[in-house]
Amino acid sequence: MPRDVTLHAVAEAAGVSLATASRALAGTGRVSAQTVATVRRAAAELGYRVDPIARALRAGSTRIVGMIVPVIGNPFFAQLVDAVEQRLHEEGFELLLADSHGELAEEARRLAVFDDRRVDGILAVPSDRRRSGPALAGAGSPVVQVDRTSEGSATDAVGVDNQVGMRLALEHVGDRGARTLTYVGADDVTSNGVERFEAFSGLIDRMPFEAYAPIRGEFSVASGAAAADELVGRGALPDAVVTASDLIAFGLVARLREHGVVIPRDVLVTGFDGIPFAEIFSPGLTTVAQPVDAIAADAIGFLLARMRGDDSPVRRSLLAPTLVVRGSTTRDDGPVGTARGRSGTRRER
Amino acid sequence: MPRDVTLHAVAEAAGVSLATASRALAGTGRVSAQTVATVRRAAAELGYRVDPIARALRAGSTRIVGMIVPVIGNPFFAQLVDAVEQRLHEEGFELLLADSHGELAEEARRLAVFDDRRVDGILAVPSDRRRSGPALAGAGSPVVQVDRTSEGSATDAVGVDNQVGMRLALEHVGDRGARTLTYVGADDVTSNGVERFEAFSGLIDRMPFEAYAPIRGEFSVASGAAAADELVGRGALPDAVVTASDLIAFGLVARLREHGVVIPRDVLVTGFDGIPFAEIFSPGLTTVAQPVDAIAADAIGFLLARMRGDDSPVRRSLLAPTLVVRGSTTRDDGPVGTARGRSGTRRER
DNA sequence: CTGAAAGCGCTTACAG
DNA sequence: CTGAAAGCGCTTACAG
């Protein structure tokens, strides 16, 4: 369908040329205040809205930002997309959303489409720490990596400070009396998988804990459930399990329950992310909550700056998370430890 | 940044005109097989990809579908967006996502942007049954309403069969021995709020239940929690609470627990939607699961047909949900009812 | 079957 | 400060 009211109509109504009308509306170039007023009035009366397609073809800017996430079905990414969409819209941009489903090839394909579509910028949650780099580096518009990073693509990045997060979780379970710990997290495919594990490992050496062999899989409920089986199979349970995501913690707790292990009575459990569901989970999940809105704001701030041509050195913003304490680490009968000693309670199903 | 390889370059390499190159690539018009092959080879060698912006300006089609949801943070909509994005991509379309945050004005604004952007079609989850109509009816491209419907906009619609869903829930709790029921759902602002309530009301008259006064708020955890307070305040609890969404059920169960009411021992509870979280909730939530993939597929099917010019009568597709039985309605000690009689167990906090 | 030309609706040097 | 003109990269009548 043809446009109803074009710039041509506005120019005609205002009695000026197409060029002047364009400049008056855009507020660019030297145009008399008088002319600007006349043109703007005409545009308003006619209900003129610039055609983004024509502008994009000519000016090269689409005012669209592409965002690619591993999977929108993960509540954490849903929260992130929500925050991003809102802020982007405030800035006058639209969001083109793509889901890589964690697949590298799909990710590359979607990034290529972003290029074809001439998005002005890209927000990417890379699917693979070591292999997402090339596709990101090859993008035709500025890229900001969000939540996760990949090697080999020197772009701005915004994410949570995993070091701080892990320390919060560890100090908390320590305060609650835990002495033996098991880490349940994700493998080395993602930066968060690596960083959270390394943060845990580094901190544990300087703290009065005994750490059992870590279990590493994926950021998923299923993976947490598998970890529960593994833990129970080992025999002695730790005082606490520190996980790398809320989904993992959910799966872990749910499966431990089936094994007859009661949280927090038998084991303390912490999550990571702070998704809304952690609050209504039973028991409420103590978790390291990410400042999602701040992450979105910073990421978009970086992206807008790059889009304006900012060529300052690449920067990485690490935002501090906060600990939200709930039932999964708090028991009515006070801190664990003294009462239970260092050996975990063994529960058979 | 200027395009690297344009149609012009392809035409030159193939030794044909721009027009012929365009037709050969599009597979439109009469072009000799020989020419088509030559042009396609040249395009492949040069790595040519059509510029969607230029094509859109000229041809009017963007191959972008806009989708507006009340809030992507709601796991049900996240699931829906996930399914839609996947299918749309299979069909060669991109997804422009907008979030109305349940506000009518925002919804209208986002729909206007979709028009400006010349999306080829719109998938909408209307925020208001009675007031979203005009904005939808005024859209410049085909619209399919998904999950919810609004009055006054005669568009295709796809959603779950609420009648079937409610019947599944009611028959199930009946089988489990419940005789007294309370409905906890959403108000009249959305079509699902109305339909689920009316389905409940209509069915209850023909079934051997005694229904207590319904409680209606929003499709949210907070609303479910408030309903729990209300229920407990009334004194006698029903044998079962049938809710209109999983989020409501979560809030309800979590708050009832704080009041000392144990599910399913004291009250059976059912949800609606079938979001992934229902499975790991404790107790697992028995819920009416929506066929999300089928809903997405149907919606996109309708939309594509309209985009192709199909002008058959407006149709509405109602997809049957299925019941997923979990712990919130199943107790080890068998059906309720006989043991507990018709009066609900009263629990004080 | 193929090509020359117009044109989608803007923006932006280039003149004046 | 303002206008005439070119052109972004395609598609599509219109001729032939």
Say if residue A337's pLDDT is above 70: no
- Please tell me the predicted confidence (pLDDT) of residue B92: 87
CA dist B237 and B215 (Å) reads 13
Residue B340 has pLDDT above 50, yes or no: no
Which of B33-37, B206-210, B240-244 has the lowest average pLDDT? B33-37
Q: What is the pLDDT of residues A156-211, one digit of tens each?
A: 999 999 999 999 999 999 999 999 999 999 999 999 999 999 999 999 999 999 99
> pLDDT band at B321, cuts 50/70/90?
very high
What CA–CA distance (Å, rounded) separates A293 from A105? 29
pLDDT at B342 > cutoff 60? no
> Which tokens go with A325?
């304490």
Contact indicator for A98, A84 with CB cutoff of 8 Å: no
Closest residue to C2 by CA to C1' distance? B20
Strand C: which nucleotides have any atom within 7 A of a protein Cβ? 1-13
Query: What local confidence, expressed as pLDDT, does residue A161 receive?
Result: 98
Residue A334 has pLDDT above 80, yes or no: no
Quick check: B343 pLDDT over 90? no
Contact check, Cβ <8 Å, A99/B117 = no
Within 299-328 of A, beta carbons closer than 8 Å to B belong to none
Res. B336 pLDDT band, cuts 50 70 90: very low
Nearest protein residue, CA measured to C1' of D7: A58
A56, A117, A221 member nearest B280 (Cβ) = A221
pLDDT at B294 over 60: yes
Q: Is the CB of A28 under 7 A from strand C?
A: yes
Confidence (pLDDT) at B27: 84
Q: What is the pLDDT of residues A270-308, one digit of tens each?
A: 999 999 999 999 899 999 999 999 999 999 999 999 998
CA B255 to chain centre: 27
Integer Cα distance of A247 and A184 in angstroms? 11
Residues in chain B within 8 Å Cβ distance of A101: 86
For B117, which of A52, A98, A113 is closest by C-beta distance? Answer: A52
pLDDT value of position A344 = 38
pLDDT digits (tens, 9 = 90+) for A28-44: 877 888 889 999 999 99
Q: Any idea which residue has 């793509």 for tokens?
A: A98
**Interval B53-69 mean pLDDT:** 92
Confidence of residue B34 (pLDDT cuts 50, 70, 90): confident
pLDDT exceeds 70 at position A332: no
A191 touching B (Cβ < 8 Å): no
Q: What is the 3-state secondary structure (H, E, C) of chain A?
A: CCCCCCHHHHHHHHCCCHHHHHHHHHCCCCCCHHHHHHHHHHHHHHCCCCCHHHHHHHHCCCCEEEEEECCCCCHHHHHHHHHHHHHHHHCCCEEEEEECCCCHHHHHHHHHHHHHCCCCEEEECCCCCCCCHHHHHCCCCCEEEECCCCCCCCCEEEEECHHHHHHHHHHHHHHCCCCEEEEEEECCCCHHHHHHHHHHHHHHHCCCCEECCCEEECCCHHHHHHHHHHHHHHCCCCCEEEECCHHHHHHHHHHHHHCCCCCCCCCEEEEEECCCHHHHCCCCCEEEECCHHHHHHHHHHHHHHHHCCCCCCCCEEEECCEEECCHHHCCCCCCCCCCCCCCCCCCCC
Which one has a higher pLDDT value, A343 or A143? A143
**Binary contact (B53, A49; C-beta < 8 A):** no
Give me the domains of chain B, ranges plus CATH numbers: 7-50 (no CATH), 64-158+292-317 (3.40.50.2300), 162-290+323-329 (3.40.50.2300)
> In sequence order, which residues have a C-beta less than 8 Å from that of residue A295 and are 6 or more positions away?
A80, A83, A146, A147, A158, A159, A160, A319
Per the structure, the residues numbered 31 to 70 in protein chain A that have their CB within 7 angstroms of any atom of strand C are: 48, 50-51, 54-55, 57-59
Mean pLDDT lowest for which of A245-249, A334-338, B20-24, B282-286? A334-338
pLDDT at residue A348 tops 90 = no
- For residue A327, count other CB atoms closer than 10 A to its CB: 16
**Interval A199-243: pLDDT, tens:** 999 999 999 999 999 999 999 999 999 999 999 999 899 999 999
- pLDDT at residue number B328: 97
Q: Which residue is nearest to nucleotide C5 (CA to C1')?
A: B19
The per-residue pLDDT for B32 is 86
Rounded to whole angstroms, how far apart are CA atoms B342 and B345?
Answer: 9
Among the partner residues B53, B79, B112, nearest to A53 by beta-carbon distance:
B53
At residue A152, does pLDDT exceed 90? no
Instruction: Determine how β-strand B286-289 pairs with β-strand B268-273.
Output: parallel
pLDDT over 90 at A333, yes or no: no
Q: With 70 as the cut, is the pLDDT of residue B75 above it?
A: yes
Q: Quick check: B19 CB within 7 A of strand C?
A: yes
Spatial neighbors of A119 by CB under 8 A, at least 6 apart, are: A62, A64, A65, A66, A96, A141
Least confident segment among A147-161, A303-317, B109-123, B323-337: B323-337
On strand D, nucleotides with any atom < 7 Å from a protein CB are: 1-13
pLDDT of residue B2: 55
Asked if B168 contacts B288 with a C-beta cutoff of 8 angstroms, the reply is yes
Percent of the residues in chain A that have a pLDDT greater than 70, as a whole number: 94
Query: Which residues in chain B are closer than 8 Å to A116, comparing Cβ atoms?
Result: 49-52
For all residues of chain B together, what is the average pLDDT? 90
Residue B60: DSSP 8-state = S
Among residues 131-150 of chain B, which lie with CB inside 8 Å of chain A?
140
For B249-273, the pLDDT digits (tens) are 999 999 999 999 999 999 999 999 9
Residue B68's pLDDT band (boundaries 50, 70, 90)? very high
Model pLDDT for residues B133-188, shown as the tens digit of each residue: 999 988 889 999 999 999 987 899 999 999 999 999 999 999 999 999 999 999 99
Q: Which of A82, A132, A129 minimizes the C-alpha distance to A106? A: A132
Residue nearest to nucleotide D3 (CA to C1'): A17
| Residues of chain A found within 8 Å of residue B98, distances taken between Cβ atoms | 85, 89, 94-95
Candidates A53, A89, A94; nearest CB to B118: A53
Instruction: Name the H helices within chain B.
Output: 7-14, 18-26, 33-46, 52-59, 75-90, 104-116, 133-137, 162-175, 191-205, 221-234, 246-258, 277-280, 292-307
* Per-residue confidence (pLDDT) for residue B140, from 0 to 100: 87
Nearest CA in chain A to B119: A53
How much is the pLDDT for B263?
A: 94
